[in-house]
Amino acid sequence: MKKSSLIGLVVIAIAIAIIVSTAGDASSYVSFDEAKTLAAAGGDRSIHVVGELKKDAAGNVVGLKPSADKLSVEFILIDDQQKEQKVYLNQPMPSDLLKSDKVVIIGGYHEEQFVADKVLLKCPSKYEEKSL
């Protein structure tokens, strides 16, 4: 075999390996029910769930509690399918959690509990000023 064809084959093999590994490591946006099914099926991959904090009729966030030592926080998230889930975040409460419109949590189920490693907040931003 010519050396150039061999190199070509190696390059293609690496490219395929990259695609396979990317597909394997890609996370996805799911609901709590799907996440639970995934966890039950033995998947320990981190997934993204998008939701909103639970609020009472007056619009106040309910169920949000920083731990006594302030190093972690628990809160209730409602996903797009309206399912409620208590979420534990092993990080100090992000300072804008209460103000956020949408919360993306990245993590997975540990038995019945959802433990998030990371949260991303989407806050109402004044980036695009529409009024004075």
Residues in contact with other proteins, counted by CB under 8 A, come to a total of 58
What torsion, rounded to 10 degrees, do the Cα atoms 46, 89, 110, 43 define? 0
Tell me if residue 33 falls in helix, strand or coil. Answer: helix
Q: For residues 31 and 49, is the Cβ–Cβ distance under 8 A?
A: yes
Among 36, 38, 67, 78, interactor with other proteins by CB under 8 A:
67
Pick the closest to residue 119 from 74, 54, 69 (CA basis). 74
Q: Is 56 in the site for other proteins (CB under 8 A)?
A: no
Tell me if residue 37 falls in helix, strand or coil. Answer: helix
Amino acid at 93: M
Q: Is 96 in the site for other proteins (CB under 8 A)?
A: yes
Per-residue binding letters, 13-52, with other proteins (x by CB under 8 A): -xx--xx-xx--xxxxxx--------------xxxx----
Query: Site residues (CB under 8 A) for other proteins?
Result: 2-4, 7, 11, 14-15, 18-19, 21-22, 25-30, 45-48, 65-67, 69-72, 74, 88, 90-96, 98-99, 104, 106, 110, 113, 117-118, 120-132
